[in-house]
Amino acid sequence: MLNLLNLHDIVRGAINIVNPDEDVWLIQNIGQTNVKGRITAFYAEPEKVRAQVQTLSGDDLTVVNDTQRTERDRKFYLYAETKTGNAPSGIIRPLGKSGDFMRRNDGTYWKVYNVSEDYTTDGWVLVLASQQVDVPEQVKSLMEEIDD
């Protein structure tokens, strides 16, 4: 078996000195229904995952060049296997997914719109997300259950 050098493990300590990881709540979209034209999204139970949150770089902005993005966008390196067995995801129309949500410890909600790098087999994924003001009621309700 070939042993590869895991550069990510090597640089973790240095990254965390400059910008510490934080715990975020991941609320995964597990599908949606369409009843008479009204789309309703469904979400899995929230789960806590480790995240390295950073501002977007020029390369990240190139990825989302055709969309309107603001200073309220961030990239999240998420480190965990999810309970649903699915990698975090943005909008995937053919699968009827409208994008996952995350809630940070400061109470802000973030919606995933892009999976920039997917290394779920190695335990991490890089997602791009926008801060949200309007959050679906189901997402709020799931988080209220956690907070109680």
Given a cut of 70, is residue 146 above it in pLDDT? Answer: yes
Structure confidence at residue 62 as a pLDDT band (50, 70, 90): low
**Could you give the residue ranges of the DSSP H alpha helices within the chain?**
7-18, 58-63, 137-147
Structure confidence at residue 61 as a pLDDT band (50, 70, 90): low
Q: Is 1 a member of any domain?
A: no
Q: Is 67 a member of any domain?
A: yes
With a pLDDT cut of 90, the percent of the chain lying above it is 31
Q: Is 101 a member of any domain?
A: yes
Q: Is 2 a member of any domain?
A: no
CA-CA-CA-CA torsion for 132, 136, 141, 144, nearest 10 degrees? 10
Tokens found for residue 105: 């410890």
d(CA 34, CA 39): 5
Residue 79 belongs to domain spanning: 7-147
Number of structural domains the chain divides into: 1
pLDDT of residue 114: 87
79, 15 contact by CB (below 8 A):
no
CATH of the domain at 140: 2.40.10.270
Query: Who contacts 19 (Cβ-Cβ below 8 Å, separation ≥6)?
Result: 52, 53, 54
More confident residue, 85 or 130: 130
Q: Is 134 a member of any domain?
A: yes
